[in-house]
A and B are shown apart, each in its own frame.
Chain A
Amino acid sequence: MPLAAGVVLILLGAYTSPRCQASVAVGASAATMAMSLLLLRETLKGGIIVHKMAGWSAPVGIILVVDGFNAFIASIIVGVVLAAAVFSIGYMRGETSLSYYYALVMLMLGGMMGVVLTGDLFNLFVFLEVMSISAYGLVAFRSYEMEPLEAGFKYLVMGGTATTIVLLGVALIYGAVGTVNLADIACRLRDGGFLPGVSGSLVLSVSLALLVTGFGLKAAIFPFHTWLPDAHPAAPSSISAILSGVVIKVGIYALFRILFIIPLNVDFAFAVAVFSVLTMTVGNVMAMFQTDIKRLLAFSSIANIGYILLALSVGFGGGAYGVYGLTSGLLHVLNHAIMKALLFLTAGAIVHAAGTRNLEELVGVGHKMKATAVILVIGVLAIAGVPPFNGFISEFSILLAALGAGMGPFAALMLANILLAFSYYLRLLYILVWQAPKESLSMIRDPSPSMILPMGVLASLCIVFGVWPQPVLALSHHAALSLLNLNGYIAASLG
C-alpha cells in the first residue's frame, strides 16, 4: 500500500537537487514506471489501493486512491515521460540550464501523478497547479527566441484562468457539501446530504460548470483550445510530446472523474457529444492548412481529444455500449499518447537535424534520415487509422460504440473527420518521405541512438498494440469498469 506514496515520492526526491541531471531524471522516471506498473498489476487483481496521508481516514485527511482507471492513466503518463526523458538526452544537448529543464520535467511528472492518484478534489487542484506551472516554464524554456516566450505567456494566462476557475468550483462544492474528498462528495450527493440550508441543484450545476470549464481549458476542448496550437509547437519537442501526449489527458482524466462523481439530471451525453464533434472538426480543419510540422501535430491533438470526448459521451449512455464506449475511449487515450508522443519526438528529431519546422523546407527529408523516416511512416499511418496499427483499433471501436449507442449522426461526423485527417496525414507523408529531397537538406543524418531508441520503442508499441490488441483492450476494459464502479470506489476510500 505505501507504493502509492512511493510513486510520488521518488519524483519529489529527484528534483530537489538543483543540479539534477539527465540520468537522475531517467532513473526516477524508470523507477516511477516500475512503481506504477506494480500498482497496475495490483489493481488488476480487482483491488483498490488506498493510502491515507498522515494516517487520517477519508473526510478528515487526504487519501490517495488507486483503482484500475487511475493506474492505467498513471502508467501511460510515466511511459511517455520516460520516453521523452531518454529522448531529451540527445535532443537537448547544447542547451543551457539543463538542470532547470530536468527539474521541471520531474516536477511536471510529479504534478501529473499527484492529479491522477489523489482521491481529494482540493489536492487535485494543488497538483494541477504544480503540473501547469512547470508546463508554462517548459513551453517558454527556449527563451532566447520570441515565439516560445509569447506562447508560454499565452498558456500562462489561459492556464491561470483555468486553475482559478477550478478553485472557485472546488470552493463552491466544499460550501455545499462540506467535504472535498471525491468519494465523500459522491456519497453525500447520492444521499442528498447537503449542508443545512443549501438547496442542491443550482450549486451543483454552477460548480460543475466551473470545474468542467477549468478542466476543459486544460484539455483544450473546443472553445478553449486556442492556447494549444501556440504552446505545443513552441516547446522543445520532447516537451511537446509530454504536453500533447499526456498533459492534456490529465484534463481529460479529471473530466472523466468529476463527471462520473457528480450526478446531474442534464443530458450530458448530448452536450459532450456536440462539443466533441466541434472539437475534432476544428482540430482537423485547422490542421489541413498548416505548413508547420509541429503545429499540424498540435491541431491533430485537438482533433483526437474530440474523439476521446465522443467516447466519453457514449459512456454516459450507460449499458453495455456505455462500457464499450468508455473502453474504446480509454484505449484511445493510451494509443493517442503513444502515437502523438512518437510523432512529436520524430518531428523533434527532424527539426533538430534540419533546423526548420516549415514543411516546404523539409521536402523529402525522409530520404536523408532513413531510420527516422521508417518510424515517421509508422506513426503517421497509425494516427491516420490505417488497419494494422493501433490507432485503427481504438478509432474504429469508438465509431462502433457511437453507432451502437444510437448516436449515428455523431458517428458519421467522426468518420468524416477521420477521412479528413487521413488526407492531411497523407500530405505530410508525401512531402516528408515521398518527394525527392531538397538540396539544402543534403548534409543531415539520422539522430543519435538515445533519440532513436525511445522513438523505436514507441513505434514498435504502435505495431504490437495494433496486431495484438487483446491485452490493452482488457486493460482499458478493466479501467472503464473501475471508473463505473462508483460504489466500490466509495467503499474503498471511506471504509
Chain B
Amino acid sequence: MSLIVKTVSRMLTPVMLLVAAYIILHGHITHGGGFQGGVLVACAFILLIIAFGIDYVEAKVSFSFGQAFRSLGATIIIIAALVGMVFGFWFFKNVGVYPYGFPGEVFSAGSLIIYNLGEMANVSASFLVAFYFLIRFRRRRK
C-alpha cells in the first residue's frame, strides 16, 4: 500500500484501540460492551493487515496465539460464571458474590467487567483468526 495509507493507519490504529478499550472497560457504565469493543479491536488489526500486509501482522499476532486467546476468552466467561455458582449457588450470580461497588466507577457492577473482557478476547481473536484464514485461503487447483 502507498505511504499515505501506511501513515494514516499507523496513526489510526492506536486511536481505534483506545476507543475499543474505553468501550470495553466502560461497558457497564456507558454504551457498548465486550462485543462492540472486541470487533473494534479486530477492525484495528484488519486495518493494519490492509496497510502493511498479512505477514507483518501475523509476525506480531500469530494464528495460534489468536486461537489460544479466543479460547481463553470463552474460558474466562465460563469460569467467572462458575465462580458465581460455587459461591452464590446460581450460575452467573453477580452481586452478592462479586462486589457491588459504587455505580459509575470503573470497578463497579460486580462481574460485568470480567465478562466484557472475556467477550472482547473471544470476539476480537475469533474475527481475526477467521480473517487470517480467509486471506490465506486459496482456491483448490484441480
B71 near A54: Cβ-Cβ < 8 Å:
no
B93 contacts the other chain (CB 8 A):
yes
From residue A56, how far is it (CB to closest CB) to chain B in Å? 8
* With contact pairs A5-B85, A9-B91 given, residues A55 and B96 touching in the complex (Cβ less than 8 Å): yes
Q: Does B67 lie at the interface of the complex (its beta carbon under 8 Å from any beta carbon of A)? A: yes
Can you spell out 26 A-B residue pairs with CB atoms less than 8 angstroms apart? Answer: A2-B85, A2-B90, A2-B91, A5-B85, A5-B91, A9-B78, A9-B91, A12-B78, A16-B71, A16-B74, A16-B75, A16-B78, A18-B67, A18-B68, A18-B71, A51-B91, A52-B90, A53-B91, A54-B84, A54-B90, A54-B91, A54-B93, A54-B94, A55-B89, A55-B90, A55-B93
**Complex: chain A residue closest to B90, CB-CB:** A55
Measured in the bound complex, the distance between the Cα atoms of B71 and A12 in whole Å is 11
Contacts of A13 in B (CB 8 A): 78
A-B interface contact total, Cβ < 8 Å = 38
4 cross-chain pairs, A with B, having the tightest CB-CB distances, nearest first:
A54-B92, A55-B90, A5-B91, A16-B75
The answer to whether A2 touches B89, judged by C-beta atoms less than 8 angstroms apart, is yes
| Binary flags per residue of B35-77, CB closer than 8 Å to A gives 1, else 0 | 0000000000000000000000000000000011001001100
* A17 interface residue (CB < 8 Å to B): yes
User: Within 8 Å CB of B89, what residues of A?
Assistant: 2, 55
Q: How far, in whole Å, are A17 and B89 apart by their CA atoms in the complex? A: 26
Cα–Cα, bound, A18→B94 (Å): 28
Contact call A53/B78, Cβ cutoff below 8 A: no
Chain B: CB-nearest residue to A62: B92
Interface residues of A (CB under 8 A from B): 2, 5, 9, 12-13, 16-18, 51-55
Please name the residue on chain A nearest to B94 by beta carbon: A54
Q: Which residues of A contact B90 (CB under 8 A)?
A: 2, 51-55
Given A12-B78, A16-B74, A51-B90, 7 other A-B residues pairs in contact with their CB atoms under 8 A: A2-B90, A17-B71, A18-B68, A53-B91, A54-B91, A55-B89, A55-B93
B32: chain A residues at CB < 8 Å are: none
Q: Which A residues are CB-close (under 8 A) to B114? A: none
A9 CB contacts on chain B under 8 angstroms: 78, 82, 85, 91
With most chain A CB atoms within 10 A of its CB, the pick from B75, B85, B96 is B85
Give the most central of A2, A9, A55: most B CB within 10 Å.
A55
Q: Which single residue of chain B is at the shortest CB-CB distance from A4?
A: B91
Specify which chain B residues have a CB less than 8 angstroms from the CB of A51 in the assembled complex. 90-91
Which single residue of chain B is at the shortest CB-CB distance from A143? B140
Contacts of B93 in A (CB 8 A): 54-55
Residue of B nearest to A63 (CB): B90
- Residues on A with C-beta less than 8 A from B94 are 54
**Would you give the 0/1 interface string for B90-127, flagging 1 where the beta carbon is closer than 8 Å to chain A?**
11111010000000000000000000000000000000
State how many angstroms separate the Cβ of A446 from the closest Cβ of chain B. 36
Residues of A within 8 A of B84 (CB): 54
**Complex alpha-carbon distance, A55 and B91, angstroms:** 8
Please indicate the chain B residues that have their CB under 8 angstroms from the CB of A2 in the complex.
85, 89-91
